[in-house]
Amino acid sequence: MSVLVEILRPSFLLHDALVASVLVGAVCPLVGVYFVLRRMIFLGVALPQVSAAGIAFAFFGYKLIVGPHEHFEMNERLIAVVGSVAFTLAATLALSLFERRGRGTVEARIGTTYAVAAAATIIFLAKDPHGDAQMVNLLKGDILATTSASLLTMKVVFAAVVLVLFACRKELLLVSFDRDLAVVFGKRAGLWDLLLYLLIGLIISFGVMTAGPMATFGFLVVPAVTMRLLARRMLTFSLGAAVLGGATAFVGFYCAYCFDLPLGPAEVGVASVVLVVVGVTTRILGALGLWQSP
Amino acid sequence: MSAALLDLRDVSVGYNGTPVLEHVSFAVERREFVALLGPNGAGKTTLLRAMLGLAPVLAGCIDYGFDRGASPPGYVPQRDTLDAIFPLTAFEVVLMGTYAKLRPLRPAGAAQRHLAARCLEQVGLAALAQRPFWAMSGGQKQRVLIARALAVEPEIMLLDEPTAGVDHQAEAAIGDVLAALNRERGLAVVLVSHNLGHIQSTVQSVVWVDGGEAVKHSADVLSAVTPPAGLMHARSKTA
């Protein structure tokens, strides 16, 4: 109990890290619900990997042009942000274009993206041994290194994304549920898709920068999958996934702090336990005729 | 603007530049009830999609006797094309029909909700408004989709196989709803079907789609000549 009180204090040493953690946990599911509904969950694996490749490329490029960079330097995070955002947005735009033109299957496109991004990350790192240590920290989820400045940037970006998601929920739902109807209505379905991908790209870039690819993928998918077992309406699905993501991030942070566990895996572990509990409980209640799964 | 609601003039439709149907010319008048009939793979759905602007018109042109931007047509897709993974109630699905006339970023308000409720009532499903869409029977889902098309407040409704895969009772219920909309509201209806069944008595015109062409007939040919091949024969005799 005293630990809980301690980490809730604003003076807590890792207060910024806790806030960043809960923000990533709460906001990632808001775009994650579209991954689940559009049946493109594996995009949630591929895009964080692309983001990581972008960070590795940015470090490599910085070393080539300017020289070695030091860990915890201010410009290190800026380099990483530029690389991550550029690569993620480029990949989301390319995937969106291929989707509109119907080239190949979704699985093939996403699988290839993941393989290329993973290979590129390793190659860029091999050419920049100095960046290796920094990169390992980022890939693990360097959330404990969150600074007030980076947290403020993240808050602004996430708030903007949430606002746009909320304002455009009607259009995003329509193009996701019945794209043909959107076209019949004269809506520019391609542009709405593009907007969604851009929002996804921004969330993933900042999520990976803060919590690493693994935790970002976990929060994109696991809370949304869990809520899909419970929600019967879009609003409860989206908000429920966000609340669940934020809550599991908080509990994961608490567990990591108490038991000295790596933060990202602890958070995803907690979210996964909740998924298993909800899945088993609804299955049992369903078998007893007390629950009808959505 | 054309006097007819839809006027197809020497239209060719297809995909990737390859025509499925060529030299198609016919019109759909106001208050008319038209059935697109023909064997599997003949191009009925492609023709319907071209009328909706969803499939490319390779040659010729389609004139619309209404403002598509201000009042789009009502569209009822095959229900299996919609993914049951979306957690939506019947009411939420119908509400989507009102988005046609809502500007971007403007949420659905009380007027749209009232309209959606009224449309559900018209198809006899007011009591099931809060039921999850995925949990409904095939016939109920189809009626929800008809209500969604009504929420557009269209002058014409285009339906793709509305009675496919539903039981006899549901087929009759859907037929009754469409007949009432055509008769009482003067709504023009174009539907794709393999088998008219219960709707046959309501249909005024038939477009037979086969062999790369589509030709319009009076519904009288349905009672005069039953086999599809005979229908084409009847066309050549009348021409």
Section B184-194 average pLDDT: 90
From chain A, pick out residues whose CB is under 8 angstroms from the CB of B87.
228, 231-234, 236-237, 294
Section B71-80 average pLDDT: 91
pLDDT of residue B237: 37
Distance of CA A252 to the CA centre of its chain: 16
Q: How far is B129 from chain A (nearest CA, A)?
A: 12
Residues of chain A with pLDDT under 50: none
**Residue B234 or residue A54, greater confidence:** A54
**Helix, strand, or coil here: A293?**
coil
Query: Hey, are the CB atoms on A178 and B82 less than 8 Å from each other?
Result: yes
Q: Between A and B, how many residue pairs show a Cβ–Cβ distance under 8 A?
A: 77
pLDDT of residue B44: 93
- Surface of B (83-142) touching A: CB under 8 A: 83, 85-89, 92, 96, 99-100, 102, 104-108, 132, 134-135
Q: How far is A95 from chain B (nearest CA, A)?
A: 21
H helical segments located in chain A: 2-8, 15-37, 43-65, 74-101, 106-126, 129-140, 148-167, 169-177, 179-184, 189-228, 234-259, 263-287
Tokens of A187: 């809506």
Model confidence pLDDT, tens digit, residues A268-289: 999 999 999 999 999 999 888 8
What rounded mean pLDDT belongs to chain B?
A: 87
**Residue B46 or residue A4, greater confidence:** B46
A231 at B interface, C-beta within 8 A: yes
**Residue B179 or residue A125, greater confidence:** B179
- Surface of A (165-194) touching B: CB under 8 A: 167-168, 170-171, 173-174, 176-178, 180-181, 183-187
Model confidence pLDDT, tens digit, residues B4-37: 899 999 999 998 888 999 999 999 999 999 999 9
Contacts of A91 by beta carbon, 8 Å cutoff, 6+ apart: A46, A47, A50, A113, A117, A201
pLDDT of residue A212: 80
Taking CA atoms, what residue in B is nearest to A234?
A: B87
Given a cut of 60, is residue B232 above it in pLDDT?
A: no
pLDDT of residue A109: 86
